[in-house]
Structure 1
């Protein structure tokens, strides 16, 4: 089974036997790959009870919880990596969630859909409507996305907070693309972050 492209990037950059917390882990697809291929000690936090059940059925250690409320309970530096994949834009307080991620993990992976991609812009410009795309398949009224972040917004946020970027990858149609003009041409971004020194 092949991983979703952003998850594959994350999996490729996590070392063997790492301790990992996957926040918003879904059905545990990434955790299972890390356990099976990297012998990682992977734990998960997931809000959807159906996804929790699916992950537990895979033999994974996943608890039901909400990133906005439950990350405060985790001790500092308790994981090598904390992962937040396609969850940032659904958090009520994404800045607080990111602070916790960088507190809990020595490093943090964050991936999100880029709301400044040219197709999104074109949909708003010509159609005057919120876009529906492969990465953003819901209508405006049933989307879980409540914060529409762009790559440039995220970079500015990191710079203002002094958060170190150890790696950044950009995807278009599921394939890696260059960082040049990523804010306009990348559909998805993956960042590897480290706490300020």
Structure 2
């Protein structure tokens, strides 16, 4: 099974044998890849009970939980990596969730759709409507996204909170692109963070 491009980047950059918490793990695709290919001790937290059941059916360790509330239950540095993929923009307090990720994980991977991508900007400029794209596939009234974060916004947030960006990857379609003008050109961003 092929991983989504942001998850493939994360999987390639997790050290073998690491302890990993995948927050918003979905059906467990990343956890399964980490377990099978990197011998990682991968655990998951997912808000949707159907996805938790899918993880358990794959032999994965996953619990039902809410990133806004339940990360506080984990002890400091319980994991080598905490992962939040395509979930940051759905949390009520992304700033607090980032703090929790870096409290429970020595490092954190965060990926999110970039709402400053040129197609999003054009949709708003020419059509005057919130866009529906491959990465933002539902209408504004159906979306779980409650924060419209851009790469520029995210960089400002982590700088203000004293968080170090160790690496960043930017995707246009399914391909990595250069960092130049990423806020305009990238549809999706992946950051590796530490304190």
Q: TM-score, normalised by structure 2?
A: 0.99
Structure 1 position 23, deviation (Å) = 0.1
- Name the structure 2 match of 1:38: 38
- 2:120 match: secondary structure: helix
Structure 1 position 160, deviation (Å) = 1.2
Q: Distance in 1 between matches of 2:96 and 2:103?
A: 11
Matches within 5 A, 1:3-152: 3-152=3-152
Structure 1 position 156, deviation (Å) = 0.7
Q: Structure 2: which 5+ runs fail to align?
A: none
Structure 1 position 140, deviation (Å) = 0.6
Structure 1 position 19, deviation (Å) = 0.1
Listed one character per residue, the Cα deviations across residues 151-182 of structure 1 (whole Å, up to 9, x for unaligned) are 00000111111111111000001100011000
Structure 1 position 83, deviation (Å) = 0.1
- 1:169 match: secondary structure: strand
4+ aligned runs moved over 4 Å, structure 1: none
Q: Distance in 2 between matches of 1:159 and 1:15?
A: 26
Q: Distance in 2 between matches of 1:22 and 1:112?
A: 14
| Residue 162 (str. 1) matches residue 162 (str. 2) | yes
Q: Distance in 2 between matches of 1:88 and 1:130?
A: 19
Q: Distance in 2 between matches of 1:141 and 1:157?
A: 26
Listed one character per residue, the Cα deviations across residues 114-163 of structure 1 (whole Å, up to 9, x for unaligned) are 00000000000000000000000010101000000000000011111111
- 1:142 match: secondary structure: coil
Q: Distance in 1 between matches of 2:176 and 2:59?
A: 31
Listed one character per residue, the Cα deviations across residues 77-111 of structure 1 (whole Å, up to 9, x for unaligned) are 00000000000000011111110000000000000
Q: Distance in 1 between matches of 2:139 and 2:186?
A: 21
- Name the structure 2 match of 1:184: 184
Q: Distance in 1 between matches of 2:194 and 2:21?
A: 15
- 2:92 match: secondary structure: coil
Which stretch shifts more, 156-165 or 10-19? 156-165
- 1:144 match: secondary structure: coil
Q: CA RMSD in A?
A: 0.4
